[in-house]
Amino acid sequence: MQFLVGLGNPGSAYASTRHNIGFMVIDALVRRLTTQEISKKSFEGELYKSSSKFLLKPQTFMNLSGRSVLAVKQFYKIDMPIVIHDDLDLPFGAIRFKMGGGHGGHNGLKSIDGAVGREYLRIRMGIGRPKHGSVVDFVLGKFYDEELPYIDEWIDKAIDGILALETLKYDDVASQYSQKKITVKGANV
């Protein structure tokens, strides 16, 4: 049983922001799979179940994501999560599969590391870095208009990799479904 966790912040103010790409992937998976919502107040998140997956969107805000992950993991006695998150250190549209490692300053990962340890699979979704201005404003900001036409393709590629993890070895998935970036036409970003 896969335990997929998409990171983001709850509320309409954060919807469709770079920091919420994990939520966006989970939402797309829920639309693609046959799922049933099984949320409980103690989970502190929106939890869905399909025949072979648990899909979680923690509603604790990013910095406390580990609480929700730990609650679901303990209740269902399931393996380590596969965490889908934004990554400033990768260019826009990149996808990287990484086993374990540090949090790289990502507060959601830091919280999960503290709750369940660091040895879990991460699906790093590259959002790039701002050329100028605040990193916080960039991360919590909406995608640029030039990027919007590529979002669905990017999410679909990540989902294809997630689904392939059921039948392929990790190294094969990482090789076949990682991508370096998406070239945005006409971008001034």
Show which residues are catalytic: 19
Cβ atoms of 19 and 139 closer than 8 Å? yes
Could you give the CA distance from residue 96 to residue 104 in angstroms, rounded to a whole number?
14
In the sheet with 45-49, reading across from the earlier edge strand, the strands are: 36-37, 45-49, 53-58, 2-6, 82-87, 121-126, 95-99
Could you give the CA distance from residue 9 to residue 61 in angstroms, rounded to a whole number?
5
**Dihedral of CA 96/2/139/155: which sign?**
positive
Task: Identify the residue whose tokens are 């919502």.
Answer: 37
Could you give the CA distance from residue 35 to residue 44 in angstroms, rounded to a whole number?
19
